Every structure is written in structure tokens, then in C-alpha cells.
Amino acid sequence: MATKKTKKKPATNLKRKALVDKSSVKNPREKNAAGANQFAVSDPAEKLISMIGSSFLNEGSSTYGTPETELATEAYDPAGLDAHTQQIINTATQVAKSDHPEDLLKIARWARTELKVRSTPTVLLAVAAECPETKQFVRKYTPLICQRPDEVKQAFIAYRQLFGTEDSLPNSLKRGLSDRISKMRESDFLKYEGQERPYWSDIIRMVDRSKDWPVSQATFNYLYKGETDPEKTPVFFARKALNQLKTFDEKAQSLAKASYATWENVLSQFGNSKDVWEYLVKSGQLGYMALIRNLRNMLQAGVSMATVNAACDALVSGAVNSKQLPYRFLSAYKQLEGINTPECTRILGALASALDAVVANMPRLPGNSLIACDTSGSMSSTVSDKSTVTRKEAACILGAIAYKLSEGASEIGAFSNEYKTANVNPGMTTLEIARRVGDLDVGAATMTHLVFDHATKSSTRFKRCLLFSDMQAYDKSISNVYGRGQGGSAATSLSNARKKNGLVYLHSVDLAGQGTSLTKQSDTNTNLVGGYSEKVIDTVLAFEGIKKDATSQTVTGDEATSGAREFTLEYIRKNF
């Protein structure tokens, strides 16, 4: 008689000593921004993790304001900061004063590296430079957080606006900024100088300096006096020569390349013409973000199909290493819709292929996934004041990525007053899946509990639910919502789904950074995270203990979930 094989069950009972200890966590409730009861996130580090990825400081765009939550005792309240920015700064301060102060810098580095957030990590760095508990770590982390040269300026400005005086910086920040400046090239100083202060000369005056440190004497002479030398500062010399020209001829093109002139430099000096755009594309002087943001401008300038093809090749081949947030591809796509030309059609196809190339390079999610995208009314606000992409669209893009990565009988849908499953398949492009999810008519309220009610009734046994939402779920205290019944308890519905369906994990991806939770913080099978980056999937893998091979692809089969599980905070501590 054959021996019956039993399928391995995913490990759900965690050894607490291997993870962040939640055994003594209290589970207080508070009102969310929609006015419903929700769970507070009492651990400041976990709260910051759920807030930071979707927070563009002082660019908030939300249907809701900031919920009335208790802020740190020593709260910083400089003029000009909105309430949400203030909440993040105060939460960061609480992390700095916790038993694990280095967490603040690690979270900032993680947000900059994996979530692709630029401004907020430099503000956290400024907070760390001010707090006595974290000053010792600032020099080490400054070059790791200020990954682009302009982020040196952002950190400098952030500290002075929040805490500084006109003539001083903390020694730890002075030394960290000097270390980062010492790695800058001549072209970096030119690209990120700008027309407004602080200039690089202002910053260098206030950081640690010694002979030829953090810049050479020749570079110092250029920044302070405008002096150039063809041998010691060839890039500065070439730019000065370029600035004297009025015609974009071969000499100008050669100097533009030698001086690493940006597209803004070239266009402002020589005009927004077909010839200029064709040179920029063919010479490779357009960075990926500049390329994806200027596709419409190139078409309007009348570039040739050969130039369009070169741009499309660059879009697809450079996508994996582009470090673009997924919604950037949608933003570019939206700008081109309605232009009915062969050139535009070619570019639209390349944008879809570029995002699919990013997804194809990501590790897979073994097991059945239920992916739910919040398309309620509050999700119609844009991700920032500077963007045309809504949180709803960002949720659908991230959901579509998760769907294409998921194996088995996975499904994706939208929820609001009701939950509906989208009619899609993994062979579709990511953009098409996102569009179909966004087009589902499900109302305008935020009935999050309906997602878990759907799982409870489903014949498909889901291993996980990925929820992309602003997390402002309605509960039973909110009735007759938009003319359709009342809210319900997301926590109760999730508990029922776990009992009756076997659903194990909830990955709660907060796209508004409000800092509250659908479940108790002591729930060891709920992953609280936030952000618009596809890298949130890495926290899913770590949280479930899904192993990756040497090529960063997921190990499949019974061995896929035999790795050690890590809470997101533990994952950040380990890797950043």
C-alpha cells in the first residue's frame, strides 16, 4: 500500500525570539481618518514603516486629513509643515528615543533604496542628526541615504529648516555630508547647482573641510570664484565654453557631451527643437526619468520614427535598472493617450513592455494570492500635489504586478461598497490588468471587510491577501454609506477567513501613510508596510519565509516556504 504524502503547511506559529517580540504588545484603538474605529500602531518603528513609503512630505493630497493621534512628548512643530509631515517627524523622533535608535537610520535607508522615496529619508536623517541617541550613526548612514547629489542639499536644508541656525550643523552631519560630497564628480556639481540658495559653496563652507577635502582646490576655486582649468577641471571648462555658444552645431554637441550637459541645459540654451531632441536621444544624454517624462515633448517636436525607435529601445532595455516607481509608467502612458499617430502607438507599446520587463525580473509568489485594490472615493486623490496619478491607479498598478507574480489560482479585484473580481489573466500586460481592475464599478465607500468575506465564501484556498489601500476602512459605526448598508469589522472578517478559508497572511500595503492598522499589532500573520514601489513584494517574501535562489528568483515547491520568517522591521534591520 502506497504511503500517502502529506503536503507541508506554511509555518504560522512564529518563534518570537527570532522576530520582533510582540508578546507584550498592547492593542489600543483609535479613530481612523474616516471616523471609524481602527487599531493604533503603538510601536513607532512599525508605524513609520507603514507611513514612510507613501509619504511625499509637504506634498500631501488626501480626501482625509491627519487622524487625531497622540504625538511625541517632544514634538517639533516648525512653521510651514502640514499635519501629516509633522506626524512623520514626531514618529521618527519616537523611534530615535526608543530602545533601538539605529532603526531610524535603517528605515530611512530602506525607504530610499527599496521604496525609492527621495525627500522623506533626508528629513529622517536630519531628525537623527538632532537627536542625541542617533547622532553616533549619522556619519555612517549619510552617504547611504543621500544617494543622489541633490539629496545632500535636501538634508542640509531639512536640518536648517527644522532645527538649525544660520551658521551651524551637528558634527555628525557635517562629516557625513563631507564624505558624500567627496564622491561627487564635476558634472554632479553642475547638474544640481540650481538658481536658488543654498549653492554648493554655501554647503561646503559649513561642512568638515581640510586641504583638498571634500573637494580639490581646483573644484573649490570653480565653486567660489568661477575659475576653470582645462586640465584640472575639464568638465567645468567645457561647460563654460558651451555657455558661450548660440548655435547647436557639431562644436556645441561635442561640448555638451564633454560637459555632461543635461537636457534642461541644452533645451534652455538652444531651444525645444526636433534637432535638439534627436541629438539627446541618440547621444544617450537623456537619463531614464528624463526620457520617460519627455516622450510627449519629443513627439510634439516632430522627431523621426528612427528616433522614436531608439527611445523605445532605451525604455525597454533600461527599465529593470531604472529605479522608477511603477506608476511612473502609467503617468507617461496617460500623457500620450489620445495622440493617434504611428509614433505614439509605438511608444505606448514600449511603455507597457518596459513595465512588464520590470515584473519579469522579480521573484514569484508561490501559492494562491487574493489581491484587493481599494478604488473607493478617497483613493481618487493624487499620490502627491505634483502628480496626475491617483492612489487608486497606483493601487491597481501594484495589484497588477502582484497578480502577475502570483502562481496557482490567484485572483485580483477591486473593493469599495462591494468586492468584484476582475476578468483578467497573467498573459495580459501589467497596464491592461491595472486598467481592468480600475474600471470595475464597485461604489465609493471603503468596505474593506468585504474582501475577507469574499475569501471566506470562496472555494479557492488563499495563502495570502495583498491589500492595496489607504486603510481607512468603515466599521459598523458608519451606516448607510453612499446609500448602501453599513461598514463592518475588517478584523472580524479576516479572522473568519482564516478559520474557514485557510487564508494565512495579510499584507497590508498602506498607500496614504495614515499610521493606523486594520488588525491588532500583536497579529503575527499581518505585515504592515507602505509604499508605491514594487519592492514591497520583497517584504512579502521575507515575512512568509519564501526563499530565493542565487538569481533572486523564488524557489518553488515544498521548499519554497522553509526559510526563516522575518517581520518587515527585522528584514530592515538585517539588510539595511
* β-sheet with 37-40: strand ranges across: 29-31, 37-40, 516-517
How does residue 136 score in pLDDT terms, banded at 50, 70 and 90? very high
Asked whether the beta carbons of 259 and 187 are under 8 A apart, the reply is yes
More confident residue, 386 or 125: 125
Q: What is the pLDDT of residues 309-351, one digit of tens each?
A: 999 999 999 999 999 999 999 999 999 988 999 999 999 999 9
Task: Give the range with max mean pLDDT: 55-59, 223-227, 283-287, 384-388.
Answer: 223-227
Q: What is the pLDDT of residues 375-387, one digit of tens each?
A: 999 999 999 888 8
pLDDT at residue 13 greater than cutoff 50: no
Q: What is the pLDDT of residues 485-504, one digit of tens each?
A: 556 788 899 999 999 999 99
How would you write 420-467 as a 3-class SS string?
EECCCCCCCCHHHHHHHHHCCCCCCCCCCHHHHHHHHHCCCCCCEEEE
Q: What is the pTM of this model?
A: 0.88
C-alpha–C-alpha distance, residues 189 and 194, integer Å: 10
Asked whether the beta carbons of 139 and 99 are under 8 A apart, the reply is no
Task: Tell me if the bond preceding 101 is cis, omega within 30° of 0.
Answer: no
Q: What is the pLDDT of residues 169-222, one digit of tens each?
A: 999 999 999 999 999 999 999 999 988 899 999 999 999 889 999 999 999 999
Which of these ranges, 352-356, 440-444, 454-458, has the smallest mean pLDDT? 440-444
Give how far Cα 355 sits from Cα of 112, 358, 499, Å: 21, 5, 37
Helices 83-96 and 103-113: crossing angle in degrees, nearest 10, is 130
How does residue 478 score in pLDDT terms, banded at 50, 70 and 90? low
How does residue 35 score in pLDDT terms, banded at 50, 70 and 90? low
More confident residue, 287 or 75: 287
Q: CA neighbours within 13 Å on the CB side: how many for 509?
A: 30
Q: What is the pLDDT of residues 86-118, one digit of tens each?
A: 899 999 999 999 999 999 999 999 999 999 998
Asked whether the beta carbons of 32 and 67 are under 8 A apart, the reply is yes
Give how far Cα 273 sits from Cα of 267, 276, 279, 302, Å: 8, 5, 10, 8
Give how far Cα 429 sits from Cα of 351, 376, 404, 424, 539, Å: 10, 24, 9, 10, 24
Q: Say which residues have a Cβ less than 8 Å from residue 512's Cβ, sequence separation at least 6.
A: 33, 54, 62, 64, 378, 391, 470, 471, 472
Task: Name the grid cell of 267.
Answer: 533645451
321 backbone dihedrals φ, ψ, rounded to 5°? -100, 15
Which of these ranges, 154-158, 518-522, 567-571, has the smallest mean pLDDT? 518-522
